[in-house]
Amino acid sequence: MKQALPEALQSPPAYPENALPPGVQPLARPTPLVKAQSLAFLMFEKADLAATQAFLTDFGMLPVENSDRQLIMRGHGTAPLIYFARQGTRSRYLGAAFTVASEAQLCILEAEAGARRLDANELPGGGSGVELVDPAGNLLWLVTNQAAVPAQPLRAPLHPHTNCHHETRRINATVRPPLEPAAVTKLGHVVLQTIDFAGMAAWYMRHLGLIPTDVQFLADGAPNLAFFRLDLGAAPADHHSFVLAGGIEEKYEHSAYEVVDLDALGQGQNVLRARGHRHMWGIGRHILGSQLFDYWYDPDGMEFEHYTDGDVFTASHPTHYVPLQLSGIWAWGDDVPASMGVKRDLGTIFKVLRLLWQGRLTVSRLKLLGSAMSTPRPWL
Ligand SMILES: [Fe+2]
């Protein structure tokens, strides 16, 4: 008789919104002002632009502009940029830019949300745009009419030639993926941690028209993490372009960049290791979103993810609800790094005490967060 495997190794249950278990609270969706069409680029302040460019080049991006004032990088797709950094005294995340379909949408954001019109010289990649500031202080830019640039050549994916037990597609031929940086095809998503999950989730849904694809809830049924996709109607959208995780600080968690296939992840890892960059986590497969992933630290310790083979959904796909557990982050692969679990260092304790004193966190919520982010795997 087969012995049952531990629960922490199995995919957590997922409930559609019309069949929620008792006590699980649905994430309220405000009426959106506009519907974003794509995640365009991310904005950072960086103390060392040259070191940043060296990392991003090894990571598979291409330079567009580098001066002592700013750094602009692109992927191999048609977006004029996917990464922007301005020179600063420290290194930090500034915000995200999404595209909208037309100038009319920018006018709605100016009239209804008090958005500030961006000057042409503020906006890398051309076109026009407006600026909002989210409740945590991050920038949110909405841009339109940015001219596409010619796509750069990419090698053909190798998986169509995979030999399977019942299907021998490759005869008298080999698999020899080239040793080269994993060419970034596009910017996929950005993940932020926030203290006020409900407030930030409502704000981003209202200003971007996002759809929650998967919502993760704490043991008391309160939503605490959401993977949001773009509302592209009948066109498929990535499982998530934006993610919010409830926690104990306002923080950039990571951003993710698509590569051609699994062999690109693997050879990209070789290149990044050989160039002395710091590996974080991977290769593995996520559960929510299904991507094959590999995480790296940039020179300032900010997390960057390579991924391939993610899920896509149209707007009609219902939101699903999943219990929040650290073990539910990945299906297989390397063990999750300790940095993603519960931290008990002095800095963390100080942050928690301050939030409790400010009334922005309760002891019961802290306990629920702690239990959700413990017990990742039976052997950990
Ligand atoms: Fe990710």
Question: How far does the centroid of ligand 1 lie from the alpha carbon of residue 114, in Å?
Answer: 31
Does residue 317 form part of some domain? yes
In the predicted structure, residue 376 carries a pLDDT above the cut 90: no
Q: What is the pLDDT of residues 154-189, one digit of tens each?
A: 999 999 999 999 999 999 999 999 999 999 999 999
Question: How far does the centroid of ligand 1 lie from the alpha carbon of residue 128, in Å?
Answer: 28
Q: What is the pLDDT of residues 215-252, one digit of tens each?
A: 999 999 999 999 999 999 999 999 999 999 999 999 99
Question: How far does the centroid of ligand 1 lie from the alpha carbon of residue 30, in Å?
Answer: 25
| 353: CB partners within 8 A, 6+ apart | none
Q: What was the pLDDT predicted at 338?
A: 84
Distance, C-alpha 41 to centroid of its chain = 12
Question: How far does the centroid of ligand 1 lie from the alpha carbon of residue 87, in Å?
Answer: 26
Does residue 23 form part of some domain? no
Task: Give the ranges where the chain is alpha helix by DSSP (H).
Answer: 49-59, 103-113, 197-208, 262-274, 346-358, 363-372
Does residue 327 form part of some domain? yes
State residue 321 phi and psi, 5-degree precision: -120, 130
Question: How far does the centroid of ligand 1 lie from the alpha carbon of residue 108, in Å?
Answer: 31
190: which strand partners?
242, 255
Question: How far does the centroid of ligand 1 lie from the alpha carbon of residue 288, in Å?
Answer: 10
In the predicted structure, residue 33 carries a pLDDT above the cut 90: yes
Does residue 342 form part of some domain? yes
Distances (CA, A) of 131 to 143, 205, 265, 369: 9, 16, 34, 33
Mean pLDDT of 50-77: 97
Which contiguous run of DSSP H or E holds residue 96?
A: strand 92-99
Question: How far does the centroid of ligand 1 lie from the alpha carbon of residue 282, in Å?
Answer: 12
Does residue 139 form part of some domain? yes
Average pLDDT, the chain: 95
Q: What was the pLDDT predicted at 364?
A: 93
Does residue 12 form part of some domain? no
Question: How far does the centroid of ligand 1 lie from the alpha carbon of residue 189, in Å?
Answer: 7
Question: How far does the centroid of ligand 1 lie from the alpha carbon of residue 191, in Å?
Answer: 7
In the predicted structure, residue 37 carries a pLDDT above the cut 90: yes
Mean pLDDT of 18-24: 96
Closest CA to 281 of 330, 216, 248, 343: 330
Question: How far does the centroid of ligand 1 lie from the alpha carbon of residue 285, in Å?
Answer: 11
Closest CA to 188 of 102, 75, 296: 75
Question: How far does the centroid of ligand 1 lie from the alpha carbon of residue 311, in Å?
Answer: 12
Contact 189, 240 (CB under 8 A): yes
Q: What was the pLDDT predicted at 129?
A: 98
Contact 247, 195 (CB under 8 A): yes
Question: How far does the centroid of ligand 1 lie from the alpha carbon of residue 13, in Å?
Answer: 20
In the predicted structure, residue 379 carries a pLDDT above the cut 80: no
Question: How far does the centroid of ligand 1 lie from the alpha carbon of residue 166, in Å?
Answer: 33
Question: How far does the centroid of ligand 1 lie from the alpha carbon of residue 83, in Å?
Answer: 16
Range of the domain at 223: 31-146+182-372
Q: In what order do the strands lie in the sheet with 330-333?
A: 15-16, 320-323, 211-217, 223-229, 242-246, 186-194, 251-258, 303-308, 292-297, 278-286, 330-333
Question: How far does the centroid of ligand 1 lie from the alpha carbon of residue 58, in Å?
Answer: 19
Lowest mean pLDDT among 41-50, 91-100, 299-308, 347-356: 347-356
Question: How far does the centroid of ligand 1 lie from the alpha carbon of residue 120, in Å?
Answer: 31
Can you list the pairs that 222-229 forms with residues at least 24 positions away whose Cβ atoms lie under 8 Å?
222/25, 222/365, 222/368, 223/25, 223/26, 223/27, 223/197, 223/198, 223/321, 224/197, 224/324, 224/369, 224/372, 225/197, 225/324, 226/27, 226/197, 226/201, 227/288, 227/289, 228/204, 229/313
Mean pLDDT of 259-285: 98
Contact 266, 179 (CB under 8 A): no
Question: How far does the centroid of ligand 1 lie from the alpha carbon of residue 230, in Å?
Answer: 16
What's 320's domain CATH number?
Answer: 3.10.180.10
Question: How far does the centroid of ligand 1 lie from the alpha carbon of residue 142, in Å?
Answer: 22
Q: What was the pLDDT predicted at 1?
A: 60
Does residue 339 form part of some domain? yes
Question: How far does the centroid of ligand 1 lie from the alpha carbon of residue 272, in Å?
Answer: 18
Question: How far does the centroid of ligand 1 lie from the alpha carbon of residue 255, in Å?
Answer: 6
**What is the torsional sign of CA 30, 141, 297, 305?**
positive
Q: Count up the domains in the chain and report the number.
A: 1
Cis peptide before 349, with omega less than 30 degrees from 0? Answer: no
Q: What is the pLDDT of residues 95-137, one digit of tens each?
A: 999 999 999 999 999 999 999 999 999 999 999 999 999 999 9
Question: How far does the centroid of ligand 1 lie from the alpha carbon of residue 305, in Å?
Answer: 6
% of the chain beyond a pLDDT of 90 = 90
CA–CA gap between residue 379 and residue 370 (Å, rounded) = 19
Question: How far does the centroid of ligand 1 lie from the alpha carbon of residue 359, in Å?
Answer: 30
Model confidence at 4, pLDDT cuts 50, 70, 90, reads: confident
Does residue 73 form part of some domain? yes
CA–CA gap between residue 184 and residue 271 (Å, rounded) = 14
Question: How far does the centroid of ligand 1 lie from the alpha carbon of residue 243, in Å?
Answer: 8
In the predicted structure, residue 27 carries a pLDDT above the cut 80: yes
Question: How far does the centroid of ligand 1 lie from the alpha carbon of residue 291, in Å?
Answer: 8
| 156: CB partners within 8 A, 6+ apart | none
Closest CA to 325 of 253, 364, 374: 374
Model confidence at 374, pLDDT cuts 50, 70, 90, reads: confident
| 376: CB partners within 8 A, 6+ apart | 8, 326, 327, 329, 335, 336, 341
CA–CA gap between residue 252 and residue 258 (Å, rounded) = 19
343: DSSP letter = -
Question: How far does the centroid of ligand 1 lie from the alpha carbon of residue 323, in Å?
Answer: 18
In the predicted structure, residue 18 carries a pLDDT above the cut 90: yes
> Residues 243, 249, 253, CA angle at the centre, nearest 5°?
40
Question: How far does the centroid of ligand 1 lie from the alpha carbon of residue 242, in Å?
Answer: 9
Q: What is the pLDDT of residues 310-361, one digit of tens each?
A: 999 999 999 999 999 988 899 999 999 988 888 889 999 999 999 999 999 9
